[in-house]
Amino acid sequence: MAPVLEVTDLVKCYGDLRAVDGVTFTVDEGEIFGMVGPNGAGKTTTIECLEGVRQPDGGRVSVYGKDPYEERRTVMERIGIQLQESDLPSRLRVREALNLFASFYAESVDPDILLERMGLQEKAKSPVSKLSGGQKQRLFIALALINRPEVVFLDELTTGLDPQARRSMWDLVREIRDQGSTVFLTTHYMEEAERLCDRVAIMDHGQLVALDSPRVLIRDLGIERRVSFYPLNGSKDLGFEALAGVELVERRQDRVIVSGSGKRFISRVVNALEDSGIDFDDLRTEQPNLEDVFLSLTGRAVRE
Amino acid sequence: MRGLSELTKTSIKLYIREPIAAFFTLAFPTMLILIFGAMYGNDPSPIFGGLGSMDVSMPAYSALILGTIGLLSVPITTAGYRQQGVLRRFRATPMRPLTYIASDLLTNLAMTILGMALLFTVGWLLYRVQFDGNILLLLFAVILSGLAMSSMGYLIASIASGARVAQVIGMVIFYPMMFLSGAGMPIEFLPPSLQRVSDFLPLTYVARLLRGLWFGEPFVDHLFEVAVLAGILVVFGGAAARYFRWE
C-alpha cells in the first residue's frame, strides 16, 4: 500500500535559518505518527508544509500522492488540521463555528455528533472566548474532524493543558485513529510521544535524527536499567554482581541500586532478590524512556 | 456557495454582537439625527436650495456609515483576524480566499443598508425627510462607494502590524474626513478655504454622489464622482491585493 504522506528532502528556510534541512520520511495509513523535538527543531514547519499552508523551498511533500500546496483545495477536503497558532472570532459560538466550518467542505459530519464526542454539548451556545483551554482545544479538534478527514494533523495539541486534560486528549487521539484516520502529530512532550505514537520521528536543528517505534528506539539505545530496593534486615552481600548483565551494585542511604543492561536484566535481578530470601521494601525499577533517547542522540535535554 | 452564504450569515451576526462597531454603524448616525434635528429642525432653507437640514443629512450620514465601515470596521476586523490567527485558520480549509473577501464585502454592504434603513426610518418618522432619487442608482452608488472605502480599509489592514495600529491609522484618516467631506456636517457650513480641502478627500466624493442621486439629480452630472471612486477602487484595491497578508 502506498504511504499516505511522503516527505522527500524537505527544505524550508526563514532568512538564513534552515528551519527544516533535508528531511525524508513516510507515514502509513492508520498510524499515529509523532514528531518530537525541542521548540525550534522544525516540527511545526514540517507539519505546515504537509498541510499545504506553507510552501517548501526544496524537496517534495505529498499527501495521497498530491502536492498539498499546489493542489490545496483538493488536499484540504481530505485532511483535518489543528494549527498551533490560530484562533476563532471571540464572539463566535461553538455550534456556529462547527456549522461555519462544515460549510467550507463538500462533505461534513453532523456538528451535533461531534459536539457530543468532544463533550461540548453544554457549551454549544458559548462564545469561543468563554471556553477553558481544554474546551477550546476540543473545539479545534472538532473543527479538524468536521470533514471526516482521512489524515488528521495535530500540532502541539496538548501544550498548555493540565495533566488530566492531556490524558483525555490522548484517548481522543486514539479514538480518532480507531475510527479510521491516520494521525500526524507534533509534541515536545516525550512521554506523550512514547505513550501515544506507533512511530516517532525525532527532530533536532531541522534534521531527522531518529525514526522508529518508541520501543525500538529505547531498546536500540542499549542504555542501562536500574532496580533499586530497601533491604529491611541487615546489609549482607547479596551477590548481584555475579548475575549476567549487572554492571554496578551500589548503596545510597541504605538503598541498594543495581544497574545494568540486557533484555531480561530486570526480571533476573528481581528473581535473584526473591530467591535470596531477604526481606525488602519499596522495590522500584527504572526503564529508559524517549527522553533518554533524545538525550543520548543530541547530547542535551528536550526542555533546557 | 454554501461557504459564502454561511460565512456571510455568521459575519453579520458577529458584526451586530460587536457593540462598538454596531454603535457606530447603526446607532450613531441615528443619534446625530435626533441631536441635530432638535437643533435645526427640517424647515426648508435657502442654504440647501429649499431642502431641510434633515433632508440633506440623510445622504450625508449614509456617506458617514460607508466611511465608518470602510475605514474603521474593515481595517480593525481584518488586521485583528490576521493578528489572532483567524485568517490562518480559515486558510487551513478548502475555502477560497476570494470567498472570504466576497463575504466580508457582502456583510459590510448588508450592514450599510441596515444602517441607512434605520437612519431613513427615524428621519421619516420624525421629519418626513424626502427621497427623490432612483433607488437602483442609489444602490449602485452605495456599492461603488463601499468598494472604494473598503479597498482603502484593506490596504490599511495590510500595512498595519495589528488591530490597534489599523484602528489608529483608520481614525487618523477618517475623522478629518468626517468633518471636511460633507458626510458629518453639511459642506455648506464650511468656509470656502476648507471646502477646497474637501476636494482632496475620498469621502467627499461619496457624500457628493449620494446627495446628488438622493435628490434625483441626473446620473450624468455625477460621472466625475463615479470616476474618482472607481479610480480609488482600482488603485487601493490593487495595492491591497498586492500587500494583503493572511498571517
pLDDT in tens, B36-48: 888 888 888 888 8
Grid coordinates representing A225 are: 536499567
* pLDDT mean over A89-106: 96
pLDDT digits (tens, 9 = 90+) for A119-167: 999 999 999 999 998 899 999 999 999 999 999 999 998 888 888 888 9
By the 8 A CB rule, do A130 and A110 touch? no
Would the CB atoms of A53 and B2 count as touching at under 8 Å?
Answer: no
Q: How far apart are CA A134 and CA A66, in angstroms?
A: 33
A92 inside 8 A of chain B by CB: yes
* pLDDT mean over A174-202: 93
A86 inside 8 A of chain B by CB: yes
How far apart are the CA of B218 and the nearest CA of chain A, in angstroms? 44
Would the CB atoms of B94 and A96 count as touching at under 8 Å?
Answer: no
Query: CA dihedral defined by A139, A140, A142, A148, rounded to 10 degrees?
Result: 170
Choose the closest CB to B89 out of A86, A90, A102.
Answer: A86
Q: Is the pLDDT of residue A239 over 80?
A: no
pLDDT for position B117: 95
A103 inside 8 A of chain B by CB: yes
* pLDDT mean over A11-29: 93
Would the CB atoms of B93 and A101 count as touching at under 8 Å?
Answer: yes
pLDDT digits (tens, 9 = 90+) for B46-88: 888 888 889 999 999 999 999 999 999 999 999 999 999 999 9
Q: Which residues in chain A are closer than 8 Å to B95, comparing Cβ atoms? A: 104
Q: Which residues in chain A are closer than 8 Å to B84, comparing Cβ atoms? A: 87, 89-90
Q: What is the SS3 assignment for A16?
A: coil
Q: Which residues in chain A are closer than 8 Å to B94, comparing Cβ atoms? A: 72-73, 76-77, 104-106
Q: How far apart are CA A113 and CA A121, in angstroms?
A: 9
A77 inside 8 A of chain B by CB: yes
Q: How far apart are CA B53 and CA B39, in angstroms?
A: 10
CA distances from A75 to A47, A148, B88 (A): 14, 13, 17
Q: Is the pLDDT of residue A238 over 80?
A: no
B51 inside 8 A of chain A by CB: no
By the 8 A CB rule, do B147 and B233 touch? yes
Q: Which residue has the cell 482600482?
A: B234
Q: Which residues in chain A are closer than 8 Å to B92, comparing Cβ atoms? A: 51, 53, 76, 81, 83, 86
The CATH T-level fold of domain A224-287 is: Alpha-Beta Plaits (3.30.70)
pLDDT for position A225: 81
pLDDT for position B80: 94
Q: How far apart are CA A267 and CA A285, in angstroms?
A: 10
Burial A169-189 (b: 16+ CB within 10 A, else e): beebbeebbeeebbbbbbbbb
Q: Which residue has the cell 441607512?
A: B116
Domains in chain A: boundaries? 5-219, 224-287
* pLDDT mean over A78-97: 94
N-terminal to C-terminal alpha carbon distance within chain B: 25
pLDDT for position A21: 93
By the 8 A CB rule, do A166 and A158 touch? yes
Q: How many CB atoms lie within 10 A of CB B210?
A: 27
CA A142 to chain centre: 19
CA distances from B139 to B122, B145, B146 (A): 20, 10, 10
Q: How many CB atoms lie within 10 A of CB B217?
A: 16
Residue B235's Cβ-count burial label (10 Å; 0-12, 13-18, 19+) is middle
Q: Do the strands A17-27 and A5-14 form a parallel or antiparallel pair, or are they unpaired?
A: antiparallel
Best of B89, B95, B103, B246 to disrupt the A interface by mutation (most A CBs within 10 Å)? Answer: B89
Extract the residue ranges of chain B whose pLDDT is less than 70: none
At A259, the pLDDT band (50, 70, 90 cuts) reads confident
CA distances from A119 to A39, A50, A82, A192, A271 (A): 31, 29, 18, 22, 47
Amino acid symbol at B140: F
By the 8 A CB rule, do A184 and A153 touch? yes
A14 forms beta bridges with A17
B114 inside 8 A of chain A by CB: no
pLDDT for position A235: 59
At A234, the pLDDT band (50, 70, 90 cuts) reads low
Choose the closest CB to A103 out of B3, B85, B92.
Answer: B3
pLDDT for position B219: 95
Nearest-CA residue of chain B relative to A94?
Answer: B10
Listed residue (B195, B167, A240, A246) closest to B207, CA to CA: B195
Half-sphere exposure of A260 (CA within 13 A, CB side): 24
Would the CB atoms of A88 and B14 count as touching at under 8 Å?
Answer: no
Mean of pLDDT over chain A? 89
Among 3.10.580.10, 1.10.340.30, 3.40.50.300, 3.40.50.1170, name the CATH number for the domain at A5-219. 3.40.50.300
Sign of the four-CA dihedral A286, A290, A293, A294: negative
